[in-house]
Amino acid sequence: MLNTGTVLVSGGAGFIGSHLCERLLGDGYDVLCLDNFYTGTKKNIRHLIGDPRFELVRHNIWMPIFVEVDRIFNLACPASPVHYQNDPVATVKTSVLGSINMLGLAKRRSARILQASTSEVYGDPQRHPQSEEYWGHVNPIGFRACYDEGKRCAETLFFDYHRQHAVDIRLVRIFNTYGPRMHPNDGRVVSNFVVSALTGKPLTLYGDGSQTRSFCYVDDMVEGLVRMMDQSSSIGPVNLGNPEEISIRELAERVVRMTNSASPIVFKPLPNDDPHRRQPDISRATELLDWRPRVCLEDGLKETIAYFRSVFK
């Protein structure tokens, strides 16, 4: 049976947001996509524009908006270091003012609202893997703080709106996600490596490449977001990510192999506050949502490489 109602997706023309809009339309919802196109692009949602149940609105969530919606997914925020450090004040405004405006809308409409938080709230973690009970190890005045602390403040706002105004919230912490529609110049490690390998440029590793990440394919992430929104047992926070851990050097070598690239691997100094290890504990998501990632890294990279090949034709 198809669902009814209108769902707002802020940041809906972005990487994850566009896939979520596509999924929600398939599930039968009317979808209102908000985006200011700072990092999102109309190319990501061009195939949806002809659908009568899809509406695109150019809007910056720093500013209030008054619309009739039943559910809200708040995904709006530049999520890669290149983009969020380009205008750090804007990044903080998006997380803080944007959350206030989206929560205000949810309050007025008695709408359920999901906040897409991030594994960056754990900072450079001193606990491994990272569970939701861990409070994190974050530098509040570093170059990454505009994003890390902005998202942490957004989490505070969500829980305070829930406690003070009984807003129906859901909160997830997204770990590294990859797949088609990633921005080719977003500075994230998967897109960096794939684009460099396909264009014959060196793959740059920072430090000795021994730092680890855990990569979740975008279809799995969208499934987790939808399941979190649909359930009524918990407001969160809930980690969403793939617990399969891989070193950055191993990832680079795998991308070179899978693209048949002759690109060399080069090394540069490790940036300040760059996390050394990142791996989600997804026990809560597994128990609460009956959710685990299904797409292995090899298969997900194949799809991602195919997408970027089409981009660079």
Instruction: Evaluate whether 172 touches 236 at the Cβ level (below 8 Å).
Output: yes
Q: How does pLDDT run across 171-202, given as a tens digit for each residue?
A: 999 999 999 999 888 778 999 999 999 999 99
Distances (CA, A) of 211 to 124, 144, 157: 11, 17, 32
Alpha helix segments (H runs only) across 110-233: 145-165, 189-199, 218-230
Q: What is the pLDDT of residues 57-83, one digit of tens each?
A: 999 999 999 999 999 999 998 776 776
- pTM for this predicted structure: 0.94
Active site residue 217: no
Of 9 and 273, which is predicted with more confidence? 9
6-182+217-243+278-294 carries CATH number 3.30.10.20: no
Partner residues linked to 71 by β-bridges: 7, 112
Contacts of 183 (CB under 8 A, 6+ apart): 15, 39, 41, 80, 83, 191
Q: Domains of the chain: which residue ranges?
A: 6-182+217-243+278-294
Q: How far apart are CA 214 and CA 300, in angstroms?
A: 13
Q: What percent of the chain has pLDDT over 90?
A: 76
pLDDT band at residue 108 under the 50/70/90 scheme: very high
Angle at 175 between CA 312 and CA 16, to 5 degrees: 45
| Per-residue pLDDT, 209 | 87
Phi, psi of 265 (to 5 degrees): -105, 125
Judged against a pLDDT cut of 70, whether residue 272 lies above it is answered with no
Q: Which residues pair with 113 in a beta bridge?
A: 72, 169
Per DSSP, the three-state class of 164 is helix
- Specify which of 83-87, 142-146, 185-189 reaches the highest per-range mean pLDDT: 142-146
Q: Which of 147, 161, 178, 217 is catalytic?
A: 147
- Rounded to the nearest integer, the mean pLDDT of the chain is 92
**What's the average model confidence in pLDDT over 150-159?**
97
Determine the average pLDDT of the residues in 220-241. Answer: 97
DSSP classification of residue 45: T
